[in-house]
Chains A and B, each alone.
Chain A
Amino acid sequence: MTVPGKANLARGVRGRFIRDRLMTSVFTGAGWFAILFITLIFAFTFREAMPIFTDPEVAREANLHEFFVKQLEGERMEQRFVWQPVGDIPKFSFVPLILGTLKATFVGLLVACPLGVAAALFSSEFAPPRLREWIKPMIELLAGIPSVVLGFFALMVLGTWLQEAFGFTYRLNAWNAGIALGIALLPVVFTISEDGMSSVPRYYREGSLALGASRFQTAWKVVLPAALPAVFASFVLAFGRAIGETMILLMAGGNAAITSWSLGDPLRTLSATIAAELGEVVFGDPHYSALFFIGTLLFVITFISNSAGQWFIGRMQRRMQGES
């Protein structure tokens, strides 16, 4: 069909063609495999929690009413919401655990948010470039400290210091755990806020400076508002991280599932409860399903807060692209 000496365009290079097809299958296979596992993570965490809805045996002891609503009767009962999963009559109230989680998260964010944003603003607006090149790797180093080490530090060192300084009744309490948690959250707040602030186009600043504003006014009135979505994102993502953080709270929280609003009392978070109890639980037990339900809860909360964080980040990017 083809004239000799002229271009031959019929399929010729079989080997390369086949290799290309093969690699397409390999990548497609890998992609789908990963997607399958991502789906499985959702499915299996939910699956193990399902018996509290479907299995009457389990549901008798562990159910939504028990988790969120039920209070113990009696005048002289100090603790009305009780998490006491092992015993003749297991008690599965999530209320003390949720309260513990919220207290630790509150202190953690209280430490990390102002400090992280202030540091980000300094790094992006005032630090000389040489200093900035040092700050960022240092923060990355801080992010690289395993949470078990932070937990260890809060348990062995920080708790004692705080107790000596402030005279807490309990060495391990919400302040202690929360501050250690805050150290873990700092890099999250810093990195995302700083990225947002650095992505604010230069002409924003130049415009403000040209109008006679000082550098501080420019940072405060122009850069920070422009980077607000990123700052929000950093808070939301830090919140998600705080809710799910386990080792720090397990080690430094004091491990007491009590219903107390005091930040000076020891606490037990949702995540630490899983870590502390799943090792000894009987498979298929109401307790087992309850722990998986806590996991599901954590999953859903962090998934939502992460989606919100991603949304804010996307908004930040769109804002800067749309206007730069």
Chain B
Amino acid sequence: MTSGDAFDSTLTRVIPSRRRRRIGEYLWVFLLGFSIVLILAMLGVILGDVIIHGAGHVSWTFITESPRQGLAEGGIYPAIIGTTFLVLLMTIAAVPLGVATAVYLHEYTPAETPKQAWSRFRTAEGADRRKLFGTVVLSLLAKVTRSAVANLAGVPSIVFGLFGLGFFIQFVGGTMDRLTQPAGEIVWGQGNLLWAALTLALLTLPTVIVATEEALRTVPADQRAASIALGATRWETIRRIVLPGALPGILPGAILAISRGAGEVAPILFTGAAYYLPFLPESLSSQFMHLGYHVLILSTQSPDVEATKPVLYGTVFVLLILTFLLNLTGVLIRARTRTKLRSGS
């Protein structure tokens, strides 16, 4: 390409290189798209493997009978019931408290940043000063709580298990036993349904709080103002305007948090899950079987892996169905409100 004409030479230099670049770009975009394919393939392989080996083993007897023959035969009824109880208790403990905490943070603590409140406090005088000090403290508290909650959402679940053992079992349960069991019997000072549920509730609490506060933020301020201008108290505004408006955001957030809690095993390892119980939990102080824990036991403690494999796959299948149903509900609700919001605006 050594043409004497300068104009010609730039042309010939530019055109092929641009075409080459185009092809290179298509390759890159193809690679990016391929990464999606790869991820979806992973999902497909895992689900496919579980469905192929697990679905066939799930039968009426499998989900209604207790394990037999050292877990290698029979069903997983106690684990299904145990998981259900656990998730219900966890939900009862986590969702109302999480929603209430988010409402407190968003609707009751000062909207100002601590910095703004502090600068007002410094210039205020007289009676205002004491009130403003409260504002400064509360807005600081809200800020610290928010960041603690956001960070807690990422603290490993095994740490929650440690906390459950150290706090609920040793401290609370131990104290309860000391006060109520003169004979020194251990009733509450060991793992049980209640402690496991509370541990899981603490694990899901930050997720519920964060999702709820995010949903509260989407309720327009002018709707709050309209309600207040009509003579509604703060509580009436929250109950009739804010919470209904935020519900489409709270619901999927809470359901996704519950679904995550339903699949967690690390927090219940030491707080109440049992290896094998032929009976169902009778009270809050009973131990319980759990689908996820059962998967762990079957795949790591089984003396004969091949013999327990069908039960293992069946259990994984049931666990996945449970968490996916919860997950799917949350994802669908969220997708529906998203499209609704888009078409509404």
Contacts and interface: CB of A to CB of B under 8 A. Distances in A.
Interface of A: 16-17, 19-20, 23-24, 26-28, 30-31, 33-35, 37-38, 40-41, 44-45, 47-48, 114-115, 118-119, 121-123, 126-127, 133, 135, 137-142, 144-153, 155-157, 183, 186, 190, 214-217, 220, 237, 240-241, 243-247, 250-251, 271, 274-275, 278-279, 283, 291-292, 295, 298-299, 302-303, 305-307, 309-310
A147 B331 CA distance: 19
A306 B327 contact: no
B155 A244 contact: yes
A41 B312 contact: no
A48 B169 CA distance: 13
Contacts of B312: 152, 156
A135 B296 contact: no
B167 interface: yes
A251 B300 contact: yes
A303 B159 CA distance: 12
24 contacts: A20-B233, A23-B238, A27-B107, A30-B101, A31-B100, A34-B98, A35-B141, A41-B163, A41-B202, A45-B159, A47-B166, A121-B32, A146-B264, A152-B316, A156-B309, A157-B49, A216-B28, A251-B299, A271-B156, A292-B162, A295-B158, A295-B162, A306-B153, A307-B147
B31 A275 contact: no
Contacts of A153: 46, 49-50
A225 to B, nearest CB: 16
A41 B160 contact: yes
B171 interface: yes
Contact of A28 (B104, B166, B233): B104
Contacts of A140: 256, 327, 331
B15 to A, nearest CB: 15
Contact of B236 (A16, A37, A183, A307): A16
B135 interface: no
B104 A155 contact: no
B154 A306 contact: yes
Contacts of B84: none
Contacts of A275: 158, 161, 266, 269
A283 B269 CA distance: 16
B269 A278 contact: yes
Nearest to A142: B43
Contacts of A24: 108, 234-235
A183 B270 contact: no
B158 A244 contact: yes
Nearest to A149: B316
Interface in B306-345: 309, 312, 316, 319-320, 323-324, 326-328, 331, 335
Instruction: Name the residue in B171, B233, B259, B326 with the highest tally of chain A Cβ atoms < 10 Å from its Cβ.
Output: B233
Nearest to A146: B263
B233 A122 contact: no
Contacts of A155: 299-300
- Chain B interface helix/strand/loop/mixed: helix
A45 B269 contact: no
Interface stretch (B2-10, B34-42, B122-130): B34-42
Interface string B98-111: 10110111011100
B269 A279 contact: yes
A38 B149 contact: yes
B260 interface: yes
Nearest to A274: B158
Contacts of B136: none
Contacts of A121: 32
A138 B43 contact: yes
B266 A119 contact: no
Interface string B204-242: 010001000000000000000000000001111010000
B92 interface: no
A41 B267 CA distance: 13
B57 to A, nearest CB: 14
Given A155-B300, A247-B265, A16 B233 contact: yes
Contacts of B262: 146
A141 B22 contact: no
Contact of A137 (B22, B163, B335): B335
A40 B167 contact: yes
Contacts of B166: 44-45, 47-48, 292
A244 B233 contact: no
3 A-B pairs with the lowest CB-CB distances in the bound complex, closest first: A244-B156, A146-B263, A31-B104
Given A149-B316, A274-B162, A279-B270, A243 B156 contact: yes
B205 A34 contact: yes
Nearest to B165: A278
B29 interface: yes
A298 B158 contact: yes
A234 to B, nearest CB: 12
B157 interface: yes
Given A138-B40, A250-B300, 4 more contacts: A34-B98, A45-B159, A147-B266, A245-B156
B249 interface: no
